Structure 1
Amino acid sequence: MNATILLKAPATPTAPALLLRPWHVDDVAELVEVGRDPELRRRVNVPMDGEAERIAWVAAQQEGWAAGVRFSFAVFEEPFDAQPRRLAGSVVLKEVVSGKPAAEVGYWTVAVARGRGVAPRALEALTAWAFDTFGAEGLERVELLHQVDNPASCRVAEKRGYVFDTILPAAPPGYPLDGHLHVRARA
């Protein structure tokens, strides 16, 4: 799969357009900066501490693209003016296997982008791309999981047509709390 894919989400009256593209090593400095956010650190299951870890994380995302099983996108807000693009978050389609009917999505947003519709718009762009790209290979549904103490993720899922399916039992240490499974079927 070509890692030069760009996805877009349109602007809203109160938020700029989004550009989604595969992660580059040039993103490491911003990743280190946003990784200091305590809420983000609490929600993600990968180390967010330093430059070496972030370089390794970006390399792992690129390997996922090369293997054709994990498609991780950096999400940027397009500037309203002459400001540079700002990292707003990440979305990922994972566990993609030809003939397997389900894949999983995940996402996170940086602190300054929360509450501006970044996650729902990025998730919608990724979901549409997933069904367009992998539907012919058997992708019938996309699953979204989040812990029960994350009502914001529940709202994002529901806004984008991911229907609540079941409660998943905790799986410590990575998932110390029960979770919700939301599912969106291909139309």
Structure 2
Amino acid sequence: MCYHSVITFRNIEILRQNGVPDSKIVWVCTYYPRLLEAKPDRLNEVLEDVKKIGFNPSKFQFVIAIQALMASKSTWKRRMEVYRKWGWSEEETMLAFTKHPWCMMISEKKIMVVLNFYVNTMGLIKEPISIWTLLDSTESLFLKKFVTCYEEAPQLLKLYQEKLDLSKLHGRDYDGKSGSYLLPN
């Protein structure tokens, strides 16, 4: 048996011992197999942190939080700094993480560009809202939540369409490639 197989089986056993159901382990095997190649000591360390934060091992967010915390400490600090730049305290960022652990798996660039687009380009956000609401929005969901719901401001839809047309004209999305600013429908 090769070394990687031994590590993978050991890590699967560690997840089981910590109350992670097989259905979630299968998900990890499918979508984040590299997690199972981690050093068992590191996985145990992260599992303890995830439990201390308050995640329930039987819930999907638990395995997402594991993956997020498996990032290097420098990556974690950079992402925390991005949220700090947008006025979030460490407590607010950790609260967001407990509700939506994906928020710490998104690149710093995407967080910055999406928030910049919504706040500065579109001028839509005047009060704090969930970062995940923005980062996880499809175009149709975004329009429903932030544009078309304001019937008293029909110019908002027009402004959105103009800004979107301008971005398509320049052929750039949040990664600098062709597409839109939002996730596909």
Please tell me the TM-score bracket, short chain as reference. under 0.3
TM-score by length of 1: 0.24
Higher helix share: 2
Select the structure with the greater relative contact order (CA < 8 A; seq sep ≥ 6): 1
